Amino acid sequence: MAKLDLEWLSVFVEVYKTQSVSRAAQTLGMEQASASMVLNKLRRHFDDPLFCRTSAGMEPTPRAQTIYPDLLEAQMRIEKARGAPAAFLPQQAMRDFRICMTDISEIVLLPRLINHLQKTAPGLVIEAEKISPDSRRRLESGDIDLAVGFTPDLEAGFYQQALFAQDFVCLASSDHPRIGAKLTGKAFSAEGHILVMPSGTGHSIVDKVLAKNKVERRVVLRVQSFLGVARIVAQTEFLVIVPRQLGNALAQQERVKVLEPPLPLPAYKVKLHWHERFNADAGNMWLRQSMMGLFSGPTRNV
């Protein structure tokens, strides 16, 4: 017999501990005859009597004494693997998490997340990186734990959960000479625009809506990041379309004003994405639940 059944390990360990087949059977909740059959199989498997009846009970043979530590460890390891996954204790955890996100999330979400983790899980380290075409592969491999943003490329094949809905506003300099508290369609088309082109922001849907409504946008500057766009707007007469929550945050940092666009622009959902391999990972689950608690909701103010 080449294989060693888990039930056999249990019978061997209990007979060794109790020095009795009947007490071992009682502990394991099985018939004594069944335990005796298992013991006979073990004897054939190891080609050794393993236990001999004496006045003190079933005494182990030298062979049984030799293999007992290994079989006991094997039983304990198997039972541990079969049991519930280890709990994640945030106050005690020491772990690095990698999250890929847009620069918008770095500005709007990351500060609040880090402040929350410093209070609830001070041993955690967050490593943020930009969403890229390689993010899908890195999520699959486990190099990244979570992705945050509007990422249609991750819709298929990954778990996902919506955090909040996001729409768009326009930013203009607070001192703009031709634009006051309201942005008209004529002014929108006449002024120069900054176009931000990162992935994972939902910004591509703006162009589609403008084209469908035959609204022209005169682009004079293209940039790859939102990080410096408010400073440029504050010091020029250009306009820029940004997600609303980012616009509100930037208006607190620079001399820019938030304006409603001259036509309704569509909303999109910012989502968490993760791979199914890590869906049941206790730490990953805790981090996802924490982010949902901080940021989820249709109009959550972050």
User: At 297, is the pLDDT very low, low, confident or very high (cuts 50, 70, 90)?
Assistant: low
Question: Which residues 6+ apart lie within 8 Å of 290 measured at CB?
Answer: 113, 116, 117, 120
Q: What is the pLDDT of residue 301?
A: 44
Given a cut of 90, whether residue 124 has pLDDT beyond it is yes
pLDDT digits (tens, 9 = 90+) for 188-207: 999 999 999 865 555 678 88
- Beta-carbon contacts of 117 under 8 Å, excluding residues fewer than 6 positions away, are 124, 126, 290
Beta bridge partners of 15: none
In this structure, what is the dihedral angle of CA atoms 296, 99, 92, 161, given to the nearest 10 degrees?
Answer: 30
User: Token digits for 94?
Assistant: 């020491």
Complete domains list, the chain, with CATH = 6-82 (1.10.10.10), 95-165+268-295 (3.40.190.10), 168-259 (3.40.190.10)
Query: How confident is the model over 52-84, as pLDDT tens digits?
Result: 999 888 999 999 999 999 998 888 888 777 766
Cα–Cα distances (Å) from 74 to 34, 119, 287, in that order, read 22, 39, 33
